[in-house]
Amino acid sequence: MALVGKKIPDISATAVIKGERIEKNFSLSDLQGGYVLLFFYPLDFTFVCPTELHAFQESLPEFEKRKCQVVGCSIDSAFCHLAWLKTPCKNAGIEGVTYPLLADTTKEIARSFGVLKEDEGIAYRGLFLIDKTGIVRHELINDLPLGRSVDEALRILDALIFYEEHGEVCPANWHKGQKGMKPNPEGLKAYFG
């Protein structure tokens, strides 16, 4: 069930904000007006997950420069998130992560985004880039053992921003600073010319 091109599901959940504060009615729709990168991970206190959460934290200034809010989500409770956030990295924790972590204890968020692994009751590694109007513009879903590339998430965000600013499309392997092309036969010829 692809969500690309569709409005995000209307969700509200408990979230841990800045690694310490619990907010009961955190809503993605409240973030409209800026970009949102929502990513799902299977469980707190696991193995690939802390590497991803720290990688997103390390690149948080790059997302913020692009006016993009990073939000993580798993089926764990806010209290479980808090315990993991208080655990140092050297002990496999995520201390220092500051972006919001949603608590999807009912599994409705993962289900509405099509990433719930029903037989285990956890989420696949889903990643969704949401534009300023709440439309999903990119989605990626990895199986449980496959960590994501934060650099690729930034590249896709840059491509979306480039498209919105210039009206040009981004060819394969495009990176910020490279040329785009007009979305027509002449643009393609000019690109290859």
Measured in degrees and rounded to the nearest 5, phi and psi for residue 75 equal: -80, 0
The amino acid occupying position 5 is G
- Does residue 153 surpass a pLDDT of 80? yes
Active site residue 49: yes
Question: How far apart, in whole angstroms, are the C-alpha atoms of residue 71 and residue 128?
Answer: 10
Which pLDDT band holds residue 21 (cuts at 50, 70, 90)? Answer: confident
pTM for the predicted model, two decimal places: 0.96
CA–CA distances in Å: residue 15 to residues 77, 123, 175, 185: 9, 17, 33, 47
As a whole number, mean pLDDT of residues 90-107 equals 96
* pLDDT value for 52: 98
Lowest mean pLDDT among 17-26, 34-43, 57-66, 85-94: 17-26
The SS3 assignment for 111 reads helix
Computed over its alpha carbons, how large is the radius of gyration of the chain? Answer: 17
Q: What is the 3-state secondary structure (H, E, C) of 125-143?
A: EEEEEECCCCEEEEEEEEC
As a whole number, mean pLDDT of residues 67-78 equals 98
Which pLDDT band holds residue 10 (cuts at 50, 70, 90)? Answer: confident
As a whole number, mean pLDDT of residues 11-39 equals 93
By percentage, how much of the chain surpasses pLDDT 90? 94
- Does residue 193 surpass a pLDDT of 90? no
Residues 6+ apart with CB under 8 A from 135: 5, 6, 7, 8
**8 A C-beta contact, residue 57 and residue 98:** yes
* pLDDT value for 60: 98
As a whole number, mean pLDDT of residues 26-39 equals 94
Catalogue all structural domains in the chain, each as residue range(s) with its CATH number: 12-147 (3.40.30.10), 149-193 (no CATH)
**8 A C-beta contact, residue 113 and residue 36:** no
Average pLDDT over the chain, rounded to an integer:
96
Question: How far apart, in whole angstroms, are the C-alpha atoms of residue 155 and residue 174?
Answer: 8
Token match 């960590």: residue? Answer: 147
* pLDDT value for 123: 98
Question: How far apart, in whole angstroms, are the C-alpha atoms of residue 185 and residue 190?
Answer: 9
| Residue 72 per-residue DSSP state | E
**8 A C-beta contact, residue 26 and residue 18:** no
Catalytic residue among 49, 68, 80, 170: 49
As a whole number, mean pLDDT of residues 60-81 equals 98
As a whole number, mean pLDDT of residues 22-36 equals 93
